[in-house]
Amino acid sequence: MGKTTPAERAAVMYKVVSILDQRQDEIVDWLIKESGSTRIKAMVEFSSARAITLEAASFPNRVHGEIRPSNTPWQRKLYLSRAHRSGSSH
């Protein structure tokens, strides 16, 4: 099996977010039933889980770099570069 590219991994995570959005009411109702949460607490829990999933989906697009040979035999070094956001002072 081949390796999954960062873009492919991100696409899967964004699909998960889409499914969460489509099934929000069902998931919130399940949280209420299973944990005895109030509707407000279940909505907060759902929103937190969705936000974490969305954040995870963006990770593959944040780190860029290349693997270069190391001075140490049988090792490589990963050189990372940070993507700058427009309007950033860094």
> Would you state the structure tokens that stand for residue 52, as one six-digit string?
């974490």
User: pLDDT (tens digit, 9 = 90+) per residue, 56-73?
Assistant: 888 877 666 665 666 777
Q: How far apart are CA 64 and CA 77, in angstroms?
A: 13
Count how many domains the chain has: 1
Residue 1 counted as domain residue:
no
pLDDT of 71 reads: 73
Q: Is residue 22 in some structural domain?
A: yes
Which domain range does residue 70 map to? 6-82
Judged by phi (left if over 0) then psi (alpha if -120 to 50, else beta), residue 70 lies in beta
Per-residue pLDDT of the chain (90 residues; tens, 9 = 90+): 568 888 888 899 999 999 999 999 999 999 999 999 999 999 999 999 999 999 988 887 766 666 566 677 766 665 655 555 555 454
